[in-house]
Amino acid sequence: MPWLDQLVPLIGTALGGPLGGAAATFVAEKLGLSDNSVAAVSEVLQSGKMTPEQISALKLAEIDFQKFLEANKIELAKLDADNVKDARDMQKVTRASTPAVLSYGITLGFFGILTSMLVYEYKPTEPLLIMLGALGAAFGGVVNFWLGSSHGSKLKTEALTDK
C-alpha cells in the first residue's frame, strides 16, 4: 500500500512489524471498527473505499500513535535491552556453542561477500545484495550480542534523564 506509507508512514510501517497490533488498535478505534486485528484493519485500508472522513481519522490515528510511541519510548528501549540481556544470561548459564558458531558464520559470510565483490569487481545481482543486506543487519546483531550496544545504552540513558 504505497499510498498508506505516504499518508501515514508510521502506521504503514508498524502494521507490518512487531507493533502491528498496537497500530491496528489505534486505526480501528479512529475508524470505528469493531475488529481491531491487523488483518481486519489491513482489509479496510486495502479496500480502496475509504471516505474523506475516514482518511482524516486515519491521519489522527497516526498522530495519536506517534504520541503513544513517544510516551512509551523508555519501555521500548527497555524491551530491546532486556531481549539482548536474556540471550546473554542464557549463554552464561548454558555455555552453548550455537551463538558462537552462528556469529562466526555471519561474520565470515558478511566479510567474505564484501571481499569477493571488491576483489572480483563483478556486477552484483539483486539476490546477492539482499543477502549482503541481511548479513550486514545480522552482523550488527552479532556485535551487539557480544560487545553490547553503546547506541542503545545512550538512548536508554537519555530516556531515563527525560523522565
Last residue of a domain, one of 71, 98, 120: 71
- The predicted-structure confidence for 33-47, as pLDDT tens digits, reads as follows 888 888 888 888 887
Last residue of a domain, one of 53, 71, 89: 71
Burial status of residue 57 (CB atoms within 10 A of its CB: 0-12, 13-18, 19 or more): middle
Q: Indicate the DSSP class of residue 35.
A: -
Domain count of the fold of the chain:
2
Residue the block writes with cell 550488527? 140
- The predicted-structure confidence for 1-23, as pLDDT tens digits, reads as follows 566 667 777 777 777 777 778 88
**pTM of this structure:** 0.44
What residue numbers bound the domain in which 43 lies? Answer: 2-71
